[in-house]
Amino acid sequence: MKTLLQIKSSLNGDNGQSSYLSNQFVERWQQNNPDGRVIVRDLAANPVPHLDGERFNAFLTPADKRNSTEQKIVAYSDELIAELKAADVVTIGLPMYNFGIPSTLKAYFDHIARSGITFHYTSNGPEGLLPSIPVYVLAARGGMYAGTQADSQTGYMQTFLGFLGLKDTHFIYAEGIAMGVEGKDKALNTAQKEIDRALAA
């Protein structure tokens, strides 16, 4: 049985355009995998705490020396990582906020980047420890940014995911959503066709 991990990061929950595309991806994937399992991680409904000194130090403290609070912090991180390791494919709904990724998604990333767990350093540099499964990033933007210097998301996402070993990354863009009704409809329709093509392969 295949497993899909769906990560939604829109502040508007299922009303967000990136969540809409992510849900469309899941629906199409389920058509191809009727017996498949979907794990939903909604970062608006259940936000991951932002990284602070206490949480960071808990990750660095040896397991046999952690206090009860540190154990809970690490157990929560372990849960997020276990979801990721259980997945055969991942889809990430990614809105653009002020030229960057949502802070809730950054908080999630900060909890799954664990030295010795999801990556480690070697004499040749960092090496990701997660299996390279397909990751589909569904990026919804109000304007037109792909391929320009203002697109800070694509390079960051590729770098971070690749750092953990997730190098099979695919981007589907819905751009110009804030540029009138016609532009929005065109962007969503184009993205939907890209989703269909990606899952038909």
**Known binding positions for FMN:** 10, 96-99
DSSP letters of 123-174? TTEEEE-S----EEEEEE-SS--TTSTT-HHHHHHHHHHHHTT---EEEEEE
CA–CA distances in Å: residue 10 to residues 16, 30, 45, 124, 201 = 6, 22, 10, 37, 28
> Which among 188, 167, 191, 192 is positioned nearest to 178, based on CA atoms?
188
> Which among 182, 170, 160 is positioned nearest to 138, based on CA atoms?
170
